[in-house]
Copies of this chain bind each other. A is one copy, B any other.
Amino acid sequence: MSPQKYLRYFGLNSLFGTQRTKEILSVNPTVLPHREEATHVEVTVYDYDSANIQVHHFNNVSPCEKFRKDGRITWINIEGLRKSDVETICTTYDIHPLLIEDILSINQRPKMDEVEGVLFCLLNMLFYNDQKKTVETEQISIALGKDFVISFQEDAHRDVFDLLRSRLNMSNSKIRQRTADYLLYSMLDLIVDNYFIVMERLGEQIEMVEEEVIRRSNTKSLARINQLRKELIVLKRNLAPVRDLISGIIRSESDLLDDRTTKYFKDVYDHIMQAYDLGENYRDIVTGMQDLYINNVNLKLNEVMKVMAIVTCLLAPATVIGGIFGMNFEVIPYAHHKWGFYFAVGCMLIIPIWMLWVFRRRGWF
């Protein structure tokens, strides 16, 4: 059966799909901003100081201007990217056009930058898609300014900030006592913490595939291993640059960053390093799995060859003896003997049995 038939049989064609490759390779750092405009934008504003907090919900960014210089810390969370909205809010909050371009880019490399009084971070939130068994990314851009943080998410359906929201609502939480950079820290911390959740799911997937390789090692297995390798590419693409992003913040001497917050960013750095190391371990284990798979395929081939060798050997005496006594010579010894036939058949049986005994002694099977 050809590999494809196998795949079709096991319903695995989708695994092999080049669709995933396409997704992974698609990239657009503003060559031509062909990002689709979001149909639905949600803007949530948390405006707080240690004493009290106000939460506002809008459908566009225009009401956000009033929080600019109210002396309180403002977190504007924009879910859904629409070019006009991004440009409006950025102009209002003096965010440089280059950063607007970054916010609207697709699949950009995680980065941090300080441009004219704004500390800017762009990275991806990772989510694990249980149906497709893929790592999904949602780009998030965070701009930290004097007394404000603006975050831009690609879509409104999900993020990783629920814990942050509940802490903001507690007036005695540390986040309410501190400056805006602590809010940035909290967001990065939650994003990086979520990487571990995604990696845990991927780790489970690796274990499952490993078990399958050990148990059955069929064509499906290499397809799955290859799929895992693609997901590890997605991971690697996010972990290494985020590591640089965090260490960039730690080394930064921006006035926006309070000295007291540095130790918190160092904590996030520990975690991203941990995630990075773990990603390397994943690679090692997947490589080991692939070696194991190839070995199993080879062992199966060896087994088939052994059966052929054994059957060929079993045939040998029958063929030879049958050939000898099947010749149409007039004078054939024992041809007329009563036990001739039985003697010949006996040889046909005893010789292969002796052969089997020899092969087993040689450790062939």
Residues of A within 8 A of B (CB): 1-4, 16, 18, 21-22, 24-31, 96, 98, 101-102, 108-109, 111, 113, 115-116, 193-194, 196-197, 199-200, 203, 206-208, 210-211, 214-217, 219, 222, 226, 229-230, 233, 237, 241, 263-264, 266-267, 270-271, 273-274, 277-278, 281-282, 284-285, 288, 290-292, 294-309, 311-316, 318-341, 344-345, 348, 362-365
Given contact pairs A29-B196, A109-B273, A341 touches B345 in the complex (Cβ within 8 A): no
Known: A210-B18, A210-B21, A295-B297. A325 touches B329 (CB 8 A): yes
Contacts of A365 in B (CB 8 A): 1
A1 to B300, CA, bound (A): 9
**A329 close to B335 (CB less than 8 A):** yes
A233 neighbours in B (Cβ, 8 Å): 281, 284-285
> Of A266, A328, A365, which is in contact with the most chain B CB atoms at under 10 Å from its CB?
A328
| Chain B residues within an 8 Å CB radius of A339 | 331
Closest residue of chain B to A297, judged by CB? Answer: B298
B229 near A284 with CB under 8 A, answer yes
The reply to whether A113 and B266 form a contact with Cβ atoms under 8 Å apart is yes
A74 to chain B, nearest CB (A): 25
Note all chain B residues with C-beta closer than 8 A to A313. 307, 311
Contact B327 A270 (CB under 8 A): no
B318 touches A345 (CB 8 A): no
Chain B residue numbers with a CB within 8 Å of A298 are 294, 297-298, 301
Q: In the complex, given contacts A3-B299, A301-B305, A311-B316, what are 17 additional A-B residue pairs having Cβ atoms less than 8 angstroms apart?
A: A21-B206, A25-B200, A29-B193, A29-B274, A113-B270, A222-B292, A226-B292, A230-B288, A237-B281, A297-B299, A301-B301, A302-B304, A304-B305, A304-B364, A305-B305, A307-B309, A324-B344
Give the distance in Å from the alpha carbon of A169 to the alpha carbon of B78 in the complex: 36
Whether A300 contacts B302 by the Cβ 8 Å rule is yes
The smallest C-beta distance from A352 to any residue of chain B, in angstroms, reads: 9
Bound CA span A201–B326, Å: 65
With A288-B229, A297-B295, A316-B315 in contact, is A330–B336 under 8 Å at CB?
yes
Q: Are B297 and A304 in contact (CB under 8 A)?
A: no
Task: List 6 contacting pairs A-B, 8 Å CB cutoff, sorted by A.
Answer: A22-B203, A29-B271, A98-B263, A314-B316, A315-B316, A329-B337
Partner of A267, one of B101, B207, B315, B316: B101
Task: Name the contact of A341 in the complex, choosing from B299, B332, B341 (C-beta under 8 A).
Answer: B332
Question: Given known contacts A327-B326, A365-B1, is B217 in contact with A299 (CB within 8 Å)?
Answer: no
Which residues of chain B have C-beta atoms less than 8 A from A288's C-beta? 226, 229-230
Partner of A324 from B330, B340, B345 at Cβ < 8 Å: B345
Which B residues are CB-close (under 8 A) to A331? Answer: 336-341
Q: Are B344 and A329 in contact (CB under 8 A)?
A: yes
Residues of B contacting A116 with CB < 8 Å?
Answer: 263
Q: How far is the CA of A84 from the CA of B337 in the complex (A)?
A: 93
- Contact indicator B329/A327 (Cβ below 8 Å): no
- The distance in angstroms between the C-alpha atoms of A266 and B113, with both chains bound, is 9
Bound-state CA distance A222–B298 (Å) is: 12
Q: A28-B196, A193-B30 are in contact. Are A332 and B326 (CB under 8 A)?
A: no
Question: Which residues does chain B contribute within 8 Å of A207, judged by CB atoms?
Answer: 18, 21-22, 25
Among candidates B1, B109, B318, residue contacting A320 with C-beta atoms closer than 8 Å: B318
B residues in contact with A4, CB < 8 Å: 214-215
